[in-house]
Amino acid sequence: MNLSVFLSGTGTNFMAIAEAIEQGKIQAKIILVASNKPDAPGLKTAADMGFNTAVFQRQDYPDGASFATYMLDVLKQRNVHLIVLAGYLRKIPPRVIRAYRDRIVNIHPALLPDFGGKGMYGMNVHKAVLESGAKESGVSIHIVDEEYDRGRIIAQRRIPVMKDDTPDSLAARVLKLEHQLYPEVIGELAVRINSELVGSGE
């Protein structure tokens, strides 16, 4: 199974996935690492590690149609089977979602459907969790559809919110959980997709 990892920041989930592949826990190959930011630290890390990289910036294209066409062309040239969003902060074009229906996954640092939607990313999520008085937080992994954080949830893991938690301390514990759960789920998806690829003769 060929993976493409999309990131916008430091790429710590990308690193966790790459490590799990190297350890044989995920039967897949990272074929492309992409970002909407040419200066994303995670993109540089990926390039330094020898991975193929790409930059998808909407402003480089005259309209959404040409942007989606370029993204699809790159993904299909690389024969990508699964797109993994790992801290990617841009909406995926609807045409790409349709082309990869049920083959794009995202990780969210809270228990969806709560604390999701536009603007709910990074430290904003953890601040909202603490301000709400929620007793638990955690991680959600979901299929990506046309709406932010509304796709079918395929895995969740919970942790208690501590009385003395700050956004930073909660974020650190949630991130540790992300690095555990995301590789596990991708490993399970790889088993299914690899079986489908064998069945189709790919």
Catalytic residues: 108
Q: Are 132 and 92 in contact (CB under 8 A)?
A: no
Quote the CA–CA distance of 127 and 11 in Å, as a whole number: 22
**Residue 158: phi, psi to the nearest 5?**
-110, 150
Token readout for 41 is 């630290």
Residue of 180, 174, 178, 176 lying closest to 123 (CA atoms)? 174
Q: Is the peptide bond before 62 cis (omega within 30 degrees of 0)?
A: no
